[in-house]
Amino acid sequence: MIRKDAGSVATTRRQARIIALQSLYEADIAGHDPIETLSRNLAEEECDAAVAAYARHLVEGVVAHRAEIDRKLAAAAPAWPLDQMPPIDKNLLRLAIHELLFDNKLVPVKAAINEAVEIAKIFGSESSSRFVNGVLGTVVAGQANEA
């Protein structure tokens, strides 16, 4: 499932993020259970244990915190209601917001944003990377104001 143009030297975390994104996207579009979708995708994908473990961590984290993530996402992009947001962008933002809010000890803010922007360039539309960057910047600024 990892697109070959995603880079032949993709890092473990990037591979995991891509598999997690594809699983969340499919679950969102088709109404499937995200955890079951991930399990099936991991079974089909040839990836090492570290990639599988981090992809599982990401999807389980998004599922566990989805209500809070979606509130932050809706607040950061008020012109784009979630049901009108492109599904690939929405699910990539969910992943990145999870990393920013719940994995901030594991993943530095700049790394989470940069990874999301780079993945948006691969899987999103022509404007996805700018949109993702702007929304995540707003989320980070909001977190700083809450602190």
Computed over every residue of the chain, the mean pLDDT equals 90
Buried b (16+ CB within 10 A) or exposed e, 30-62: eeeebeebbeebbeebebeeebbebbbbbbebb
Taking only the tens place, the pLDDT of each residue in 21-50 is: 999 999 999 999 999 999 999 999 888 999
Q: How confident is the model at residue 143 (pLDDT cuts 50, 70, 90)?
A: confident
The tens digit of pLDDT for each residue in 121-142 reads 999 999 999 999 999 999 999 8
Supply the pTM of this predicted model.
0.89
- Is residue 135 within 8 A of residue 77, CB to CB? The reply is yes
Please give the CATH superfamily to which domain 4-146 belongs: NusB-like (1.10.940.10)
Q: Where are the domains of the chain?
A: 4-146
